[in-house]
Structure 1
Amino acid sequence: MAMSPTGASGPHQESRLDVGIISAGRVGSVLGAALARAGHHIVATSAVSDASRDRARRLLPDAAVLSPDEVAERAGLLLLAVPDDELAQVVSGLATAGHFQPGQLVAHVSGAHGIEVLRPAVSAGALPLALHPVMTFTGRPEDLDRLDGVSFGVTADETMRMVGEALVVEMGGEPEFIPEQLRALYHAGLCHGANHMTTLINEAVDILRECGVMHPERMLGPLLSASLDNTLRLGDNALTGPIVRGDTGTVASHLDALSRALPDSVAAYRAMARRTADRAISHKRLSVAAAEPLLDVLSGPDGEGGRK
């Protein structure tokens, strides 16, 4: 069993790890390729579907395709790249069958979990890490280049922080340490931004198509790119539009048009507009007086969703 240089004491002091990956999905295959690029040896992976086996052949050509039990037994670093809701069951099953080893590094890539989910492995003497790459993956080779500079949400015991940091840096990432008790909140922040942004953009695309716009994605691209860039640089000071201006009549016309053309979008528009108004007020971009009529319009004809 070998370990990359980290300055940590213990059994892992050589320059190369024997890495096993469960499983060769979109994330596991790319992270395995990143570890191989850093000089580690990918000894084995599990791959059930045709797509996973194909990814293993392309991205992990030196890895034997084995059962999860066999992968675990061969690995100095065992990387668990399974869905969030399956992770606890996989860990428990491997522990019950006695496949974890004392001194073995066991890391998972789930954003939703910290290291508590690895407790059965720790009971067998394994060393736990949570290494979550903040990136979407296609499972294609170009994902390797996209890892460079990507943040990883790392949760680790104090004695394992240097090991987690070293592995992330070797994969091209930047470690951000997340306390165990805040892991769910951390994941909520990522999903709220990335997943809900996809929904929001698709809503906007649908609305523009309803207006006869032939290429709404082309129309929205520059606007959304500038908005994202401004928001990441300026925070709430990047806000523009009728909410921050207190243009109650404009917002009322939006709601009227949506209720006639795309009524399923009205609730989402109201919710986002109310939250936008709240943030604009908190950051003194919108006065309370100007917000009063706006919030009344956003409360709806029956008062639903209005101010408390």
Structure 2
Amino acid sequence: MAIKPGRLGIGIIGAGKVGAVLGAALRGAGHAVVGVSAVSDASKDRAELLLPGVPVLEVADIVERSELVLLAVPDDALPGLVTGLAAMNAWQVGQLVAHTSGRFGIGVLAPVKAAGGIPLALHPAMTFTGMSLDLSRLTDASFGVTAEPAMLPIAQALVVEMGAEPVVIAEADRVLYHAALAHSANHMVTLVAQAAQILGDIGVEAPNQLLGPLLRASLENALTAGESALTGPVARGDAGTVAAHAEALREHALDTGAGDIIDAYLAMSGATATRAARRRLLSAEAYLAVQAALMPDGEPGTGAGGS
């Protein structure tokens, strides 16, 4: 079942940032977008911007008209949407139904398969702005793809047509796959926001300008060299500095109420020390000293030093 440009009539359920952009990418690959669902003013504006001329339709009408239905709705809404449409006998034999959830595989589309449809899971591993610039970003992105073996080439072809790279994820691994992405991308935003808040609180006027080169280099080094790129006081076993950081952040929390920052610092420093010790970047003595330094009344001991 090779997919040819222009072959499929595609319906987009959910004109959020993801659905509108992927619909535009598939349209750009030659497919026809036959309808899109949009409820809020923002989603209607997004549909008009990225999918001009595509009619805004009711969900049931979209399913009826489409050879491929793209479900771009929040994770928690997906099961109810699928089963609700099944109760209406909306799904069709031979119809392709793809969702964009990272958490779910094709199991959540069991009602589609029961009706004779073809379930696919296509999760873009990138963040979206809902603007046209996302289309160019797709060329550097990967999709977590799950499908039955015979249907996997279809899922992969759709991703390739959007300009991205398909990465096959087993059904049983979808939640861990999604957790890895959320843990990295979402928590990175939180960490950057926390660091920027601290710098702003001490009077730095442009925290992002200060942080930008450091964070970009750190991310690039981590992606290129993995954990061997780790640096800083925890990796050096510089327990005295770690203790000073922890104490200063505790005082900062008392002054500002930002207790989330010290909590995150303690959790990430502890995890960093554990991983560094496991890789023998830290001696057992240095590891224990760092862990002690993270305690409110701990004795930091003697670290490895270094500037």
Return the offset for 1:197.
Answer: 0.6
What CA deviation, in whole Å up to 9, does each residue of 1:25-57 have, x standing for no partner? 111111000001000000111111111111111
Q: 2 CA distance for matches of 1:3 and 1:109?
A: 21
Counterpart selection for 2:138 from 147, 151, 159: 147
Return the offset for 1:62.
Answer: 3.3
Q: 1 CA distance for matches of 2:212 and 2:230?
A: 17
What CA deviation, in whole Å up to 9, does each residue of 1:211-239 have, x standing for no partner? 21111110000000000000000111111
What secondary structure sits across from 1:69 in the alignment?
helix
1:267 corresponds in structure 2 to 263
Q: 2 CA distance for matches of 1:53 and 1:207?
A: 38
Q: 2 CA distance for matches of 1:149 and 1:223?
A: 22
One-letter identity of the residue aligned with 2:83: S
2:273 corresponds in structure 1 to 277
Written as runs of structure 1 = structure 2, the 5 A alignment for 1:1-308 is 4-5=3-4, 16-263=7-254, 264=259, 265-301=261-297
One-letter identity of the residue aligned with 1:115: I
Return the offset for 1:60.
Answer: 1.3
One-letter identity of the residue aligned with 1:4: I
Shift >2 Å, 4+ stretches: 299-303
One-letter identity of the residue aligned with 1:279: R
Q: 2 CA distance for matches of 1:62 and 1:122?
A: 31
1:10 corresponds in structure 2 to none
Give me the CA root mean square deviation: 1.6
What secondary structure sits across from 1:66 in the alignment?
coil
CA 1:39 to 1:3, structure 2 compared with 1: closer, same or farther past 3 Å? farther
Q: Percent identity?
A: 53
Q: Is the 8 A contact 1:3 1:15 kept in 2?
A: no
Q: 2 CA distance for matches of 1:77 and 1:18?
A: 6
1:9 corresponds in structure 2 to none
Q: Is the 8 A contact 1:3 1:16 kept in 2?
A: no
Q: Is the 8 A contact 1:110 1:131 kept in 2?
A: yes
Q: Is the 8 A contact 1:207 1:262 kept in 2?
A: no
Return the offset for 1:262.
Answer: 2.4
One-letter identity of the residue aligned with 2:293: V
One-letter identity of the residue aligned with 1:208: L
One-letter identity of the residue aligned with 1:270: L
Q: 2 CA distance for matches of 1:148 and 1:209?
A: 35
Q: 2 CA distance for matches of 1:75 and 1:62?
A: 16
Q: Is the 8 A contact 1:210 1:261 kept in 2?
A: no
Superposition TM-score, scaled by structure 2 size: 0.93
Return the offset for 1:302.
Answer: 8.0
Return the offset for 1:121.
Answer: 0.9
What secondary structure sits across from 1:135 in the alignment?
coil
Q: Is the 8 A contact 2:143 2:167 kept in 1?
A: yes
Q: 1 CA distance for matches of 2:247 and 2:168?
A: 46
5+ long unaligned stretches in structure 2: 300-307
Return the offset for 1:136.
Answer: 1.0
Aligned residues: 294
1:306 corresponds in structure 2 to none
What secondary structure sits across from 2:69 in the alignment?
strand
5+ long unaligned stretches in structure 1: 6-13, 304-308
Return the offset for 1:271.
Answer: 0.8
Return the offset for 1:15.
Answer: 5.2
